[in-house]
Structure 1
Amino acid sequence: MNKKNIITILLALLTSTGLAQTKTATVTGYSPALKDGTLVLAGTGTIGSVVDTVKAGHFAYTLPVEELTESFLCLMGEGCPNMSITIYLKPDLAVKVTGNDCLYPLWKVESPLPEQRTEARITEHCRDVLTEYMQKVLANKPWAELEPVEIKLAKKQMDILPALPMDAATIGKLLNASRIVKNIKDFPHMEQLKKIEKFVADRAPKGFEGQLAEIHSYVYPPRVLQVGDEAEDAELVDMQGQKHHLFEAFANGKYVLLDFWGIGCGPCMMSEPEMKEAYEKMKDKLEIVGINHNKISEWQEHEFSKRIVWTNWNNAMQDISRKYCDMGAIPYYILISPDKRIVWKDMGYIPGLFMGMADVLNGVKHKQDNSANFSLLIQKVDANASSTTVSFRYYGHKDYWFRIVKESYLEANGKKYMLTAADGIKLDEDNFSQVKATESTDEFLSNLCYTDFTLTFEPFDTIPTTFNFKEGDVEHAFVIRNVSLE
């Protein structure tokens, strides 16, 4: 036998061995109401991808599974709500999902797994509330209308949990119910949640210790660190599995930006080009610590994780996020000073945020605390006996408007100094930035722009050491605190 044939056989053996080790489960689905071309997204853990498109109402896909695994299915198309359905899988299992409409979270799931039967009992018990919630989602109702229905759904799920087997489905639903406590102020059913948490913890089988610990942390949350507080250390893991401490990032005496993110989070990934551009400008002043929420194996294998150029760590147990983040949503950003004091925190990515941060940290003339967001910053202040003129810069996407209201004022000496004039923008109207902020050819970055404008206020009675700028007293107003005049 020649050398070429030996290599061919060896490669064939290696290939067949690899295939034999890959265990999968299959899901097929059908509904006559689904439109052709509807996207089928599925995955396990927190990572999903498009696995099929609907044709004549049918779809099918396979997922790799090594043991009992919780997976999700999401359909994106006309009439489909932006939600998911939980499907439990095991190796070599075939599951069938069917319905007569597009409300797939209510469809029948044919599976021999007891966990799926538990899931079906919960779904049936909550059918009326789930339907109400999906109708509001399809109608694009605001969060103010979705929130009470989400609370109602959590309550209904909790009502049935004590009567169910203590399995993955029961514990998973309790985890979902407990997570909303992080995002809903004054959750009205806390006492019931505490009782069920104890009931489940006392009866849960082995293997669910991580989920139970997470549930407990939501039911009995630690105090969340706020602006002005001293930062606390935490243990994290790098891409090679080595343990690190958060305070290692402060070794060079820089500011530290914590970037809480997750795979599959669109805004998290959208922010990366601007963050990278600004990071190059701030390297001497700032260290970024990316803190990923996914399972360590998912995070290590994902292409986005591998291209991160700053400190890239994981906290799958989310101990640090429960300590630092007011809401269980990502992206979440926290800026910490070199002396380990929290100086700013916010949820969500706003285009222009990091360009403004770069200007502030690189030393605009007047020191300032941008406690609303860094998209708006103060460049110059001229305070005299007749008026106080403040020069601003606003960073944003060229297609995103910003607005400054006439009720804006400066706060100092225990009183308000009201806005009297504006130059460069129109007050109480939509303004769009047009001057390019970067030379980048990246499609998104090339649309980042800025606007320079000035606002004139009543004169200070006495020139203060510092003052605050407030865009009125409405919720979500721009606020810049402790603007130094020294």
Structure 2
Amino acid sequence: MKKYIAILCSLFSAQAMAQQGLTITGNFENLKDSKVYLVRRDKDKGLDTLNFTTSKNGSFVLKSRVTEPEPLYIFREGSPSFSYVFAENTNIEVSGNVDSMYVFKGIKVKGSPAHEQLMEFYKNVSEPFEREIMKAIEESREQGNAASVERLLMKTDEILSRRATAILKYLKTNPNQSNSLAYGIMNAYTNIGLEMSPASYNPVYEALSPSVKASVHGVKLRNLLTANMRTSPGVMAPDFTLPTANGKPVRLKDVVAKNKVVLLDFWASWCGPCRAENPNIVKAYEKYKDKGFAIISISLDTDRKKWLQAVEEDKVPWLQVSDLTQRAVVARDYGVRGIPHLVLIGQDGKVITSRNIRGEELHKKLESIFN
């Protein structure tokens, strides 16, 4: 009987918190009186403003409600700076200096267990391995040859494997899990542009509690794992057919059959890093196009005019395709979460690498293949 009473009390408490919603009280040094916005990133609406207020003497109060813990952002008027809070229906305090309105640069968040668990995960489990990987990448760039790229790939695989083991250990020793962990694990996979090893990370997913698996971010993590399994090195690349600007259908399988290596380049005219990377890809194309190197650029533009204008401005002479849908099915099939996103495919139709290699790393990888 006591057990059932405890369960009922827990349910009533959760329902009361959900009805109460969340209250974020902010106190920032040097914050001038200005409008402050509480924002959610919505896949359909983009940035969705949940509430706003005007700060007074560095303080403000924002209220809203979430269905389950989720990342929310606090923006101040006239500044790109923001505070990041993994919010739940509690009383949350955020504080710091206005010059560092970003959680990883000194913002303190209290009152959200989901946020606290996520920060603990980042600090003790994820970030140490990211620093290792960035150090390995820097060392490879300094050496500047194809052999160093191969050593880098082996080194990062080893680091990612150790990280997966560390994440698994953390989950097993922390049974009281928030769905923020699914969010943190998903970001750990994608922050540095390296693909996951499904063999390593499936056990991580299985170690999540049933409630976390069923959460929004748990489902997203499962979908991301599935997409990565479809595009892991050695796996047959998902075939697709997309139209050129003139409506001519281009099938991946047909392009692969005629070339030694095909690069899939997911990009868009509005993507600054994509446009900045295009001269580098042009350089690689000019060097290897006569050796069996082909490129298919898949634009996530929705505006035909802007897409074609960017193609002309950047002088990219290879195949350009798009269905003018930002959330294209092919992007989902290749696990694209951000652009630019590059995938190399061999003549056998299998993925060579889905690592998001750019700059000199792309040239080094192509050199190791063609030379």
TM-score by length of 2: 0.47
Structure with bigger helix share is 2
Structure with bigger strand share is 1
Bigger relative contact order, structure 1 or 2 (CA pairs below 8 A, ≥6 apart): 2
TM-score by length of 1: 0.38
Higher CA-based Rg: 1
